[in-house]
A and B are shown apart, each in its own frame.
Chain A
Amino acid sequence: DTGVSQNPRHKITKRGQNVTFRCDPISEHNRLYWYRQTLGQGPEFLTYFQNEAQLEKSRLLSDRFSAERPKGSFSTLEIQRTEQGDSAMYLCASSFLRRGDLQYFGPGTRLTVT
């Protein structure tokens, strides 16, 4: 069990650019979640996958955000036309329904939009 991994760990981009983050969940975990965390706040839910199906999206997920989990394993989160307000830590978590559905988080990707 190697834990949830996320890449890159840090990303600095200019306003208006597109960025993509990757999350590799714990193997056998069929559920995957994306959260966003800003300074001094708790994580806020963005979206959720069960296997390859995206089942839930938060109102925080504007149309500039898109997430995929094409084969039910790793997931990507893309932000198009980044804005300064997108600067945050993007956290990925995974869980396995048959083991209590406990959510385990990765180290996060810190995005800075200049």
Chain B
Amino acid sequence: GENVEQHPSTLSVQEGDSAVIKCTYSDSASNYFPWYKQELGKGPQLIIDIRSNVGEKKDQRIAVTLNKTAKHFSLHITETQPEDSAVYFCAARNLYSGAGSYQLTFGKGTKLSVIP
């Protein structure tokens, strides 16, 4: 099955700086890569996603890049703000196959702290 590795496990940045979180996946059939933000006591919130036919996607201060050849994808947050502090999870999924395709396989998370 799919295995997703996520680095770093913790990340501290000064407010206004950029943050980058990286993930690698093992199953070359995976073609959908969402990122979730989880605040304390809450469920994961979908913040951005990318499909394998696209190399980069941007939404305001958040961007995701995908390198299918190397099987890795990254989350970039620019101009970080204290409210960006949370745990971020990457995930992978094959949208189009049969059994096993419905589940998301998650990384272990990155705890981001933005220091004011």
Q: Is the CB of A102 within 8 A of B108?
A: no
Which residues of A come within 8 Å of B, CB atoms?
4, 6, 31, 33, 35, 40-45, 48, 55-56, 58, 91, 101-108
Contacting residues, chain A, for B49 (C-beta < 8 A): 102
The contact of B109 among A41, A91, A105, A108, by CB within 8 Å, is A41
A91 contacts B105, CB within 8 Å?
A: no
Q: A35 CA to B6 CA in the complex, in Å?
A: 19
Known contacts A102-B34, A103-B34; A44/B102 CB under 8 A: no
A52 to chain B, nearest CB (A): 15
Which residues of chain A are near B44, meaning CB under 8 Å? 43, 91, 105
- Chain A residues near B54 (CB, 8 Å)? none
Nearest opposing residue in chain B for A107, CB measure: B43
What are 27 A-B pairs at a CB distance below 8 A? A31-B102, A33-B102, A40-B108, A40-B109, A42-B4, A42-B6, A42-B89, A42-B106, A42-B107, A42-B108, A43-B44, A43-B104, A44-B106, A45-B103, A45-B104, A48-B102, A48-B103, A55-B102, A56-B100, A56-B102, A91-B44, A102-B46, A102-B49, A105-B46, A106-B43, A107-B41, A107-B42
Min CB distance, A44 to chain B, in Å?
7
Whether A101 pairs with B95 at a CB distance below 8 angstroms is yes
